[in-house]
Amino acid sequence: MKKLIIIPLLLTLLNACTSSSGLLNPVPFVDSPETSTNVVIHRAIPHGAFFDTVIFTIDGVDVFGFNQEDDFKFVLREGDYLFGYKYGFFENHCNVDVAIQAGMNYVFSLEPDCVIEME
Protein backbone atom coordinates (compact mmCIF):
# COMPACT_ATOMS: atom_id res chain seq x y z
CA MET A 1 0.00 0.00 0.00
CA LYS A 2 2.83 2.42 0.82
CA LYS A 3 4.35 1.86 -2.64
CA LEU A 4 1.09 2.96 -4.25
CA ILE A 5 1.31 6.28 -2.43
CA ILE A 6 5.05 6.89 -2.73
CA ILE A 7 5.39 6.20 -6.47
CA PRO A 8 2.87 8.87 -7.63
CA LEU A 9 4.36 11.34 -5.17
CA LEU A 10 7.88 10.75 -6.51
CA LEU A 11 6.70 11.02 -10.12
CA THR A 12 4.96 14.32 -9.37
CA LEU A 13 8.05 15.67 -7.61
CA LEU A 14 10.34 14.57 -10.44
CA ASN A 15 8.06 16.16 -13.06
CA ALA A 16 8.02 19.45 -11.14
CA CYS A 17 11.82 19.52 -11.06
CA THR A 18 12.35 18.66 -14.71
CA SER A 19 9.64 20.89 -16.17
CA SER A 20 11.39 24.10 -15.08
CA SER A 21 14.03 24.32 -17.78
CA GLY A 22 14.37 26.65 -20.75
CA LEU A 23 12.31 29.81 -21.25
CA LEU A 24 9.56 29.99 -18.62
CA ASN A 25 8.22 33.51 -19.26
CA PRO A 26 9.19 36.23 -21.73
CA VAL A 27 11.71 38.87 -20.73
CA PRO A 28 10.35 42.44 -20.48
CA PHE A 29 9.33 43.91 -23.83
CA VAL A 30 11.97 45.77 -25.85
CA ASP A 31 10.44 48.63 -27.81
CA SER A 32 13.50 50.07 -29.57
CA PRO A 33 17.03 48.93 -30.45
CA GLU A 34 18.32 52.35 -29.36
CA THR A 35 17.16 51.77 -25.79
CA SER A 36 18.19 48.12 -25.47
CA THR A 37 21.25 46.05 -24.66
CA ASN A 38 22.50 42.46 -24.83
CA VAL A 39 22.56 40.46 -21.62
CA VAL A 40 24.08 37.04 -20.91
CA ILE A 41 23.34 35.17 -17.70
CA HIS A 42 25.94 32.49 -16.98
CA ARG A 43 25.25 29.65 -14.58
CA ALA A 44 28.39 29.07 -12.51
CA ILE A 45 26.62 26.89 -9.94
CA PRO A 46 27.93 23.34 -10.41
CA HIS A 47 25.71 20.70 -12.00
CA GLY A 48 25.19 17.34 -10.42
CA ALA A 49 22.68 17.64 -7.61
CA PHE A 50 19.38 15.78 -7.97
CA PHE A 51 17.42 19.03 -7.65
CA ASP A 52 19.68 20.72 -10.12
CA THR A 53 17.50 23.35 -11.79
CA VAL A 54 18.40 26.99 -11.17
CA ILE A 55 15.64 29.46 -12.07
CA PHE A 56 16.63 32.99 -13.13
CA THR A 57 14.13 35.73 -12.30
CA ILE A 58 13.61 39.34 -13.38
CA ASP A 59 11.57 41.51 -11.01
CA GLY A 60 10.33 38.38 -9.23
CA VAL A 61 9.08 36.63 -12.38
CA ASP A 62 10.55 33.23 -13.33
CA VAL A 63 12.16 33.79 -16.74
CA PHE A 64 14.60 30.96 -17.46
CA GLY A 65 15.31 27.57 -15.95
CA PHE A 66 18.90 26.40 -16.15
CA ASN A 67 18.97 22.63 -16.15
CA GLN A 68 21.81 21.49 -18.38
CA GLU A 69 22.27 24.86 -20.10
CA ASP A 70 24.99 27.17 -18.85
CA ASP A 71 24.05 30.45 -20.60
CA PHE A 72 20.89 32.44 -21.25
CA LYS A 73 21.19 35.26 -23.80
CA PHE A 74 18.55 37.92 -24.33
CA VAL A 75 17.93 41.59 -25.15
CA LEU A 76 16.67 43.91 -22.44
CA ARG A 77 15.62 47.56 -22.51
CA GLU A 78 17.48 50.03 -20.32
CA GLY A 79 16.21 50.50 -16.79
CA ASP A 80 16.42 49.26 -13.23
CA TYR A 81 15.68 45.60 -12.55
CA LEU A 82 15.81 43.07 -9.78
CA PHE A 83 17.77 40.06 -11.03
CA GLY A 84 17.57 36.92 -8.98
CA TYR A 85 17.74 33.18 -8.92
CA LYS A 86 16.30 30.36 -6.90
CA TYR A 87 17.59 26.86 -6.53
CA GLY A 88 17.41 23.73 -4.46
CA PHE A 89 14.64 21.70 -2.96
CA PHE A 90 13.57 24.53 -0.65
CA GLU A 91 13.97 27.18 -3.38
CA ASN A 92 16.58 29.42 -1.82
CA HIS A 93 16.23 32.95 -3.26
CA CYS A 94 18.99 35.41 -4.17
CA ASN A 95 18.42 38.92 -5.57
CA VAL A 96 20.42 41.96 -6.67
CA ASP A 97 19.39 45.38 -8.02
CA VAL A 98 20.78 45.98 -11.53
CA ALA A 99 20.89 49.21 -13.56
CA ILE A 100 20.98 48.43 -17.30
CA GLN A 101 22.19 51.09 -19.75
CA ALA A 102 21.42 51.09 -23.47
CA GLY A 103 24.10 50.04 -25.94
CA MET A 104 26.15 48.06 -23.42
CA ASN A 105 26.84 44.33 -23.27
CA TYR A 106 26.37 42.72 -19.87
CA VAL A 107 27.43 39.31 -18.57
CA PHE A 108 26.22 38.23 -15.15
CA SER A 109 27.31 35.09 -13.39
CA LEU A 110 25.05 33.14 -11.04
CA GLU A 111 27.50 31.94 -8.40
CA PRO A 112 27.06 29.57 -5.46
CA ASP A 113 26.27 31.05 -2.05
CA CYS A 114 23.70 33.56 -3.38
CA VAL A 115 26.05 35.69 -5.48
CA ILE A 116 25.04 37.38 -8.74
CA GLU A 117 28.18 38.95 -10.14
CA MET A 118 28.77 41.15 -13.19
CA GLU A 119 31.74 39.92 -15.21
Q: What is the pLDDT of residues 24-55, one digit of tens each?
A: 999 998 989 899 999 999 999 887 654 578 99
Cβ atoms of 37 and 104 within 8 Å: the answer is yes
Provide the residue type at 21 as one letter.
S
Give CA–CA dist 86/62, Å, rounded.
Answer: 9
**pTM over the 0.75 mark:** yes
Average pLDDT over residues 56-72: 91
Task: Output the pLDDT for position 15.
Answer: 42
Does residue 90 carry a pLDDT above 80? no
Does residue 2 carry a pLDDT above 80? no
Q: What 3-state class would DSSP assign to 113?
A: coil
Task: Output the pLDDT for position 113.
Answer: 84
Give CA–CA dist 58/92, Å, rounded.
Answer: 16
Give CA–CA dist 37/30, Å, rounded.
Answer: 9
Task: Output the pLDDT for position 93.
Answer: 87
Task: Output the pLDDT for position 11.
Answer: 41
Give CA–CA dist 25/63, Å, rounded.
Answer: 5
Does residue 13 carry a pLDDT above 70? no
What's the alpha-carbon Rg for the chain, to the nearest Å?
16
Task: Output the pLDDT for position 23.
Answer: 93
Element containing residue 90 per DSSP (H, E): none
Which domains are assigned to the chain?
Answer: 2-118 (2.60.40)
Q: What 3-state class would DSSP assign to 74?
A: strand
Strand partners, 62: 57
Give CA–CA dist 70/75, Å, rounded.
Answer: 17
